[in-house]
Amino acid sequence: MLTSLSIKNYALIDNLQVDFNNGLSIITGETGAGKSILLGGLSLILGKRADLSSLKDTTQKCVIEAVFDVSNYNLKTLFEAEDFDYEAQTIIRREILPSGKSRAFVNDSPVNLNSLQLLGERLIDIHSQHQTLQLISNDFQFQVIDALANNNELLQSYALELKAYKKLQKELQELLNFQDEAIKEHDYNTFLLNELVEANLIEGEQQALEEEYETLNNIEGIKEKLSVSYQLLSDEQIGILTSLTTIKNNLKNIAAFSSKYEDLFNRVNSSLIDLDDVFNEIDVLQDGLEADPSRLEEVDSKLKILHNLMQKHIASDVSELIKIKNELDDKVAVTESLDKTIAKKQSEIETKTNQLKIISRKISKKRSEVVPQLKEQLETILVNLGMPNAQFKIEILFCEQFFASGQDELSFLFLANKGGSFNELKKAASGGELSRIMLAIKSVLSNYIQLPTIMFDEIDTGVSGEISNKMGDIMLQMSKTMQVFSITHLPQIAAKGHSHFKVFKEDVNEVTQTNLVRLNHDERIVEIAQMLGGVEMSSSAIAHAKELLN
């Protein structure tokens, strides 16, 4: 419920601070006194867009702040979803700066207007005679029926299942689309894969093949160089090994004389061991070298295949070709296994469809059961509101399609007068009748669910005294379970309120200002008497006002 409202520098309001109670609060005032300004300021709190024309003094910022007691509204989930700081006493502040920029805060944390609107819809419902579009909405009509049917838990289960069902459908469609594209590419991908498979790719083989190719391609030159090296090392007269052996023996004879000679001996001996190892390896390499034209051709062919594949796939080495082969292998495998995957997904959708239908039928059954009850309650209320011939024709039709709130199609028809025919609400009811129907529906709803604060903005326009008395009784009854505001020109309704506020204009230092004050009992008598008989109050008007208040 709205517990307090503060408005500074907005339109004709300089500085307004007012506290509100639970129950039925009445707001009255002469035409043009500024009731619409008050509603405009409240709308900004609920997320309406603002502009500089809202500022009374364009050099100062406009600040509107409202405090709500949200402890009974089950809003913690919404606060978490929108990343608001939850407080039982929630403060919403809206600021309009002289630059034209607007800022909004929930419990001192900045929020965007979309989030503020979501919260605002759960806090205050402003209803006027011209705002009845909600009434003719199928979604709203279902909300009314579901409130009476106590379908909340079933609808939550249905929503979860529907979300999962739509996710599965999306995944299936993606698979089917992928299959269409994959089939087109399958043959080509298979051809590319086979090329790479036939190449028998081995990590690091390119370097080995290139070395083998160079060896086979230069076999005679290599053999010649190895042979010369072998001779230089092994010649019995002047060979390097023979000479180095002589040097080693000479140094060995003098090694004992000094550590310097011993060091020379060790170094020469080490070199001799290394050269001897080189000699043996040259000998082995010579024995293994043979010209092999067929192997050379084979290596050359394999290298050409690798180079062509790397050029074709824009790869820098064999490891990249292996990676590409694996990717193609996956694509081909996925394409070939798509039928099984699609069949599995279709089976999951079928299971989910059956689960949805089970929940939908339960929802539909409970809706159908409460339709007669809703019809009777609405028609009874409308009789008291001066519509004795009003009738509703509400039909629930179960169909195959899954909608946001079940599988039902709703026909919500209305007949205002005898001899007429049932038609849609927007065609069968006038503006005033729609307002009374909305009042009746809100009255019924208030018995079943926790409604937000509701503000009726002159929905009693054009209504007679007796009917307005009944409207006041309905608002009073509603206020037992929720906070209700009524902006009214009718004394019969004004007298029903637990609290009474008056909007008025006054000139301060030759500047017109709008203000709002709470009236005490005596002030209420005067206000209601003026509503009955004008500014020049008669004793009978005062007596009538007292009678209404009592």
Per residue in 365-404, pLDDT (tens digit) is 999 999 999 999 999 999 988 899 999 999 999 999 999 9
Cα-based angle 127, 42, 478 (whole degrees, multiple of 5): 40
**pLDDT value at residue 288:** 66
Give the orientation angle of helix 318-384 with respect to helix 138-149, to 10 degrees.
Answer: 80
For residues 457-475, give the mean pLDDT: 85
Count the helix, strand and coil residues of the chain and give each as a percent rounded to the nearest 5.
60, 20, 25
Lowest-pLDDT range of 42-56, 70-84, 132-146, 200-214: 200-214
b/e sequence 501-529, b meaning 16+ C-beta within 10 Å: bbbeeeeeeeeebbbbeebeeeebbebbb
Per-residue pLDDT tens digits for 536-548: 778 888 999 999 8
The residues near 383 (Cβ < 8 Å, ≥ 6 apart) are: 390
What is the sign of the dihedral through the CA atoms of 47, 111, 86 and 9?
Answer: negative
Whether 353 shows a pLDDT value over 90: the answer reads yes
**pLDDT value at residue 475:** 93
**pLDDT value at residue 225:** 83
Mean pLDDT, the chain, integer: 87
Whether 294 shows a pLDDT value over 80: the answer reads no
d(CA 360, CA 364): 6
d(CA 271, CA 71): 94
Q: Which two tokens stand for residue 510?
A: 């030759």
**pLDDT value at residue 161:** 95
Q: Is the pTM of this model over 0.85?
A: no
**pLDDT value at residue 129:** 64
**pLDDT value at residue 350:** 96
Place of tokens 């009850």: 373
- Look at residues 123, 51, 99 and name the one whose alpha carbon lies nearest to residue 115: 123
Q: Name the pairing type of β-strands 13-19 and 89-96.
A: unpaired
Kindly state the percentage of the chain with pLDDT values over 70.
Answer: 98
**pLDDT value at residue 221:** 82
d(CA 142, CA 207): 75
- Look at residues 279, 285, 286, 282 and name the one whose alpha carbon lies nearest to residue 244: 279
> What is the residue-wise DSSP string for 187-238?
HHHHHHHHHHHHTT--TTHHHHHHHHHHHHHTHHHHHHHHHHHHHHHH-TTT
pLDDT band at residue 473, thresholds of 50, 70 and 90?
Answer: very high
Lowest-pLDDT range of 8-22, 231-245, 510-524: 231-245
Whether 477 shows a pLDDT value over 90: the answer reads yes
The residues near 28 (Cβ < 8 Å, ≥ 6 apart) are: 487, 488, 489, 494, 500, 501, 502, 503, 527, 531
Kindly state the percentage of the chain with pLDDT values over 90.
Answer: 41
Tally Cβ neighbours within 10 Å of residue 6. Answer: 17
Per-residue pLDDT tens digits for 309-334: 888 888 888 888 888 888 888 877 77
The residues near 458 (Cβ < 8 Å, ≥ 6 apart) are: 128, 129, 487, 488, 489
Whether 290 shows a pLDDT value over 80: the answer reads no
**pLDDT value at residue 27:** 94
**pLDDT value at residue 550:** 82
Lowest-pLDDT range of 224-228, 246-250, 416-420, 478-482: 224-228
- Look at residues 353, 368, 425, 367 and name the one whose alpha carbon lies nearest to residue 391: 425
pLDDT band at residue 131, thresholds of 50, 70 and 90?
Answer: low
pLDDT band at residue 128, thresholds of 50, 70 and 90?
Answer: confident
Give the orientation angle of helix 318-384 with respect to helix 293-312, to 10 degrees.
Answer: 30
In order of their start, the domains of the chain are 1-123+452-519 (3.40.50.300), 177-337 (no CATH)
For residues 497-526, give the mean pLDDT: 90
**pLDDT value at residue 159:** 95
Residue 260 host element (H or E): helix 259-288
For residues 111-131, give the mean pLDDT: 86
For residues 67-93, give the mean pLDDT: 91
d(CA 260, CA 291): 50
For residues 76-105, give the mean pLDDT: 91
Specify the higher pLDDT residue, 8 or 210. 8
**pLDDT value at residue 434:** 85
Lowest-pLDDT range of 56-60, 288-292, 297-301, 501-505: 288-292
Lowest-pLDDT range of 83-87, 123-127, 197-201: 197-201
For residues 254-279, give the mean pLDDT: 88
**pLDDT value at residue 160:** 95
Specify the higher pLDDT residue, 534 or 313. 313
Q: What is the spatial order of strands in the sheet that 62-69 belongs to?
A: 13-19, 2-10, 62-69, 89-96, 102-106, 109-111
pLDDT band at residue 132, thresholds of 50, 70 and 90?
Answer: low
d(CA 353, CA 165): 7
What's the DSSP call for residue 33? S
Give the orientation angle of helix 465-478 with respect to helix 318-384, to 10 degrees.
Answer: 130
